[in-house]
Amino acid sequence: MRFTSILVANRGEIAVRVMRTAKALGYRTIAVYSEADAEAPHVAMADEAVCIGPAPVAQSYLDPQKILDAAARTGAGAIHPGYGFLSENSGFARACEAAGLTFIGPRPDAVDIMGNKAEAKRRMISAGVPCVPGYEGEDQADDTFIKAASEIGFPVMVKAAAGGGGRGMRLVDDAGDLPEAIRLARSEAENAFGSGELILEKAIMRPRHVEVQVFADEAGNTIHLGERDCSVQRRHQKVIEEAPCPVMTDELRAKMGAAAVDAAKAISYRGAGTVEFLLGADGEFYFLEMNTRLQVEHPVTEMITGIDLVNEQIRIAAGGSLDMTQDDITFDGHAIECRINAEDPQTFAPSPGTITYYHPPGGLGVRVDSGVYQGYKIPPYYDSLIGKLIVHGRNRVECMMRLRRCLDEFVVDEIKSTIPLFRNLVENQDIANGQYDIHWLEQYLANKK
Ligand code: MV4
């Protein structure tokens, strides 16, 4: 539990972000990097850096043994996995603990429970967390699904139990299409996840994606840090996130927050987690899944609560207790995050290459978490997120006005980026009014073409 150094098993903006807090707390920081990342900022800022192999992730950032070897070589005491890569790999978390390394994250068993939608939903139903009506039984016979669907009522969603983030999911409008959908979903799930296990759910039409940040310490003290609205997304990739959710009320937050805390407590959760809900147009909300990691969009929560989530993660991993209760958590103003991707803003095709000129915005209420600099060559091997612009204001209007100014100021030259898309989005009336759902962006993009 006690450690004085932290190896960050990640790259890009999140490696930089985690090291910032680790350094501020006085920990020795250790970076790992692939052969393609020797010039990356996370390498330069670390106290020590270890090359872990060739550019492809399977031979570097995704290889548990490469990370464990680097930790052994540098005498690391703890590992922060960031997001993606090994962050939700329970086998890796167990291997860390077996090697005497503190994994800065949840207990591996909690990761496994939430990694299976059927198991997760059964636990949530037992704990009284509102779930979408559906079927999540062990009996996987076609007839069982067909009977369940007729009771649930169409349209239904067929989901892979081992899937997540929209992978292995199918919408079925009527009973006639169900047998074929089950067959296809099952074989896709077997190929993608090595398990054909399925669940059924009533399809919620035009909901918002609202997720609640939770924190729990080893002793079981569990609190929530409010919600983020992440409905503005394309092909399950979030594009804009904001806190608070534009349609949130104090009563609804109290209910969703309590449900999220119940969800975490039901699995004896530890550390930072996010409980995802669908929020229907009628104000009903339903548990979807729980992410057992620090998320890309965590800064909007930090901006409105003033709490450094990585600091809390580290403190809890070191065996410390939460130094706040639910009543200490207050929400100040509004924060919006734009994900800056090295992509063509029209086609979303990746656009790696050299940044010839870089000028990030600054000023009051402005935060840029990035993993690039002027002269940096973005390698083609990794995801296209190069940074995040996070803007805070005393209210949503001030936040939006400040965001528009920041987007005007932001220059990332001679690669294509999603900044021009955000310049258009901040001028849109639906975005200005917070009137959007999970399908809004895809419709907006379709109508513009
Ligand atoms: C749903 C749904 C409607 N009804 N489940 C997509 C990602 C995964 N986390 C769950 N997803 C959905 N599950 C029921 N019962 C609609 C989606 C969904 C979605 C959810 C969140 C954010 C964006 C989305 C885009 C399309 C579909």
**Model confidence pLDDT, tens digit, residues 310-349:** 999 999 999 999 989 999 999 999 999 999 999 999 999 9
Pocket of ligand 1, candidates 204, 277, 285, 286: which has the most ligand atoms within 8 Å of its Cβ, to mutate? 204
Spatial contact of 121 and 267, defined as CB atoms under 8 Å apart: no
Pocket of ligand 1, candidates 156, 159, 200, 236: which has the most ligand atoms within 8 Å of its Cβ, to mutate? 236
Measured between alpha carbons, how far is 407 from 40 in angstroms, rounded to an integer? 24
Measured between alpha carbons, how far is 80 from 318 in angstroms, rounded to an integer? 12
| Per-residue pLDDT at 167 | 78
Measured between alpha carbons, how far is 401 from 390 in angstroms, rounded to an integer? 13
| Per-residue pLDDT at 448 | 79
Q: Separation of 162 CA from ligand 1 center, angstroms?
A: 15
Tell me how far the alpha carbon of residue 20 is from its chain's centroid: 19
Measured between alpha carbons, how far is 414 from 260 in angstroms, rounded to an integer? 43
Pocket of ligand 1, candidates 116, 156, 157: which has the most ligand atoms within 8 Å of its Cβ, to mutate? 157
- In the three-class reduction of DSSP (H, G, I as helix; E, B as strand; rest coil), residue 299 is classed as helix
Measured between alpha carbons, how far is 422 from 404 in angstroms, rounded to an integer? 9
Measured between alpha carbons, how far is 217 from 196 in angstroms, rounded to an integer? 35
Q: Separation of 131 CA from ligand 1 center, angstroms?
A: 13
Q: What is the pLDDT of residues 379-424, one digit of tens each?
A: 999 999 999 999 999 999 999 999 999 999 999 999 999 999 999 9
Q: Separation of 354 CA from ligand 1 center, angstroms?
A: 36
Q: Separation of 220 CA from ligand 1 center, angstroms?
A: 30
Atom 23 of ligand 1, nearest CA residue: 438
Let me know if 394 is a catalytic residue.
no
Tell me the torsion sign for CA atoms 176, 180, 181, 182. Answer: positive
pLDDT of 449 over the 60 cut: no
Q: Give the pocket of ligand 1 (CB within 6 Å).
A: 132, 157, 165-166, 169, 201-204, 209, 233, 236, 276, 278, 288-289, 438
pLDDT of 166 over the 80 cut: no
| Per-residue pLDDT at 244 | 99
> Where is 97: in which H helix or E strand?
helix 90-98
- In the three-class reduction of DSSP (H, G, I as helix; E, B as strand; rest coil), residue 376 is classed as coil
Atom 7 of ligand 1, nearest CA residue: 166
Q: What is the pLDDT of residues 301-315, one digit of tens each?
A: 999 999 999 999 999
pLDDT band at 1 (very low <50, low <70, confident <90, very high): confident
Per-residue pLDDT, averaged over 51-79, amounts to 98
| Per-residue pLDDT at 150 | 97
Catalytic residue of the set 11, 170, 293, 396 = 293
Atom 5 of ligand 1, nearest CA residue: 203
Q: Separation of 166 CA from ligand 1 center, angstroms?
A: 6
| Per-residue pLDDT at 83 | 98
Instruction: State which amino acid sits at residue 428.
Output: N
Pocket of ligand 1, candidates 156, 206, 210, 278: which has the most ligand atoms within 8 Å of its Cβ, to mutate? 278
Instruction: State which amino acid sits at residue 14.
Output: I
Atom 9 of ligand 1, nearest CA residue: 165
For residue 233, the ligand 1 atom closest to its alpha carbon is 23
| Per-residue pLDDT at 165 | 73
> Where is 241: in which H helix or E strand?
strand 237-243
- HSE at residue 445, side-chain half, CA atoms within 13 A, is 15
pLDDT of 279 over the 90 cut: yes
Atom 14 of ligand 1, nearest CA residue: 203
Atom 21 of ligand 1, nearest CA residue: 209
Between CA 49 and CA 6, with CA 61 as vertex, the angle to 5 degrees is 45
Q: Separation of 183 CA from ligand 1 center, angstroms?
A: 20
Q: Separation of 61 CA from ligand 1 center, angstroms?
A: 29
For the chain, give the mean pLDDT.
Answer: 97
Atom 17 of ligand 1, nearest CA residue: 166
Q: Separation of 391 CA from ligand 1 center, angstroms?
A: 27
